[in-house]
Amino acid sequence: MILVTGGAGFIGTNFVLDWIASVGEPVLNLDKLTYAGNLENLASLAGDARHRFVQGDIGDTALVGRLLAENEVRAVVNFAAESHVDRSIHGPAAFVETNVVGTFGLLEAVRAYWGALPAERKSAFRFLHVSTDEVYGSLDAQAPAFTEQHRYEPNSPYSASKAASDHLVRAYHHTYGLPVVTTNCSNNYGPFHFPEKLIPLMIVNALAGKPLPVYGDGQQVRDWLYVGDHCSAIRRVLEAGQLGETYNVGGWNEKPNLEIVRTVCALLDEKRPRVDGKSYAEQIAYVTDRPGHDRRYAIDARKIERELGWKPAETFDTGIRKTVEWYLDHADWVARVQSGAYREWLSTNYGERESA
C-alpha cells in the first residue's frame, strides 16, 4: 500500500484516481479537508477496497506513524500543501504551518517508521515530495528555462514555504539517509481544479456572465502541464527515480496568461455560445496586478525524459479542450464547491483590485 497525502485536493485526487486505474495498488489517502479538499472528487471509488480515506493532518506525527505501521506502507507521495499564491499574500501563516511545519512532522513520522523497517523493506521504501517551479523565482523573457540546478529564489510566501519544505526533504536524505525524491512541476490544469485558479475561474466566471479578471497586462508567462501528465510523471519517478534527486516536470507549453484566457473564451464560444452571440472575450477585465507577481516561469523537463523516459502525452490544445469539456459536463460539481466561503474569498481577493 502507498500513502498519499493531500489526496482529496486537485492534483492528489487525479493521482489517486489514476493510480487505482493504472496500477491497482491500494491507496491510503490522508487529507485534512481544508477548503480545497473535497471527498466528492473521489466518489467513483466509494466501496472500492483499494481506497481508504482518513481525515487528518500531515503534522500529526502520532497519527501518521500509526497509519504507516498499521498499513505496512511501502511509499509516501506527499501532495499536502497550501498552494495558492494570492491566499498566501492575504494569510501567510497557514502556508508556513502546513508547508513547513507540517512537512517537518510528516518527515519525522516517516523517518521513525522507515528506520524500524526490516532491511529489505527499508531499502525498497520511497518518499516522493511534490513541489513547484515557483521555488526558482522569476525568469526574464529570454532567460533559459529552470533546470534542476537553478538556485532557489522564491518571491511569495507560498513559494518560500514550498522552498523550505524542499530543503527539509533534501536535508532528511543527506542527514538521515531517508530515501527521497522530489518533483518540481509547472502550472497544472485539468479536472477537479478548485475554481480560484486561473483556468477554472475563467470558465466559471464566463458562464456566469461575470468579469474575467486578468492581472496587470496579462503577459505573465507560465508553463502549463495537464494534470494527467503530471500523474504519469509521478508514477514514473516513484518507480525509477534516483534517490536524493530532483526532477522538473513540465508540459513544454509556455504561454502568457492573456492567451490562456482568450483560448478558454474561444472554446466556450464554440461549445456553449453566449445567448447574445457575442464572444466571452468581451468579459475580460484588466485588474491591478498581484503584489510581487513573478513575470515568467519555464520548466526544462529534459532530465526526466533523458533519465526516466517520461514526456507529456497532451499538447496544450488537447489538454485545454478536455478541461473545458470537463467543467461543462460537471456543472453540479462546480456549483457545490462554490460555497459561501469561496464567494467570500473572491470578494476579498478581487473586490479590492481596481480596474487597470
Half-sphere exposure of 134 (CA within 13 A, CB side): 22
In terms of Cα–Cα distance, which of 302, 145, 304, 298 is closest to 235?
304
Q: Residue 8 in 3-state DSSP?
A: coil
| Secondary structure (3-state) at 189 | strand
Let me know if 18 is a catalytic residue.
no
Q: Which of 136, 158, 247, 297 is catalytic?
A: 158
Is residue 207 within a helix (H) or strand (E), and if so which, with residue range?
Answer: helix 198-207
| Residue 10: how many other CB atoms lie within 10 Å | 24
* AA letter at 36: A
Task: Single out the catalytic residue among 57, 86, 133, 223.
Answer: 133
Q: Pick the catalytic residue: 57, 134, 254, 314? A: 134
Tell me the sheet residues that pair with 286: 214
Strand 27-31: give its sheet, edge to edge: 51-55, 27-31, 2-5, 75-78, 126-132, 180-185, 246-249
Amino acid of residue 349: N
Q: Which three cell numbers stand for residue 191?
A: 479536472
329 as an active site residue: the answer is no
Longest dimension (CA), the chain: 68
Per the annotation, the verdict on 133 as an active-site residue is yes
Contact 129, 123 (CB under 8 A): no
Task: Give how far Cα 145 sits from Cα of 148, 162, 252, 300, Å.
Answer: 10, 19, 10, 5
Residue with cell 500509526: 66
Q: CA 234 → CA 76, 100, 152, distances in Å? A: 12, 22, 22
Active site residues: 133-134, 158
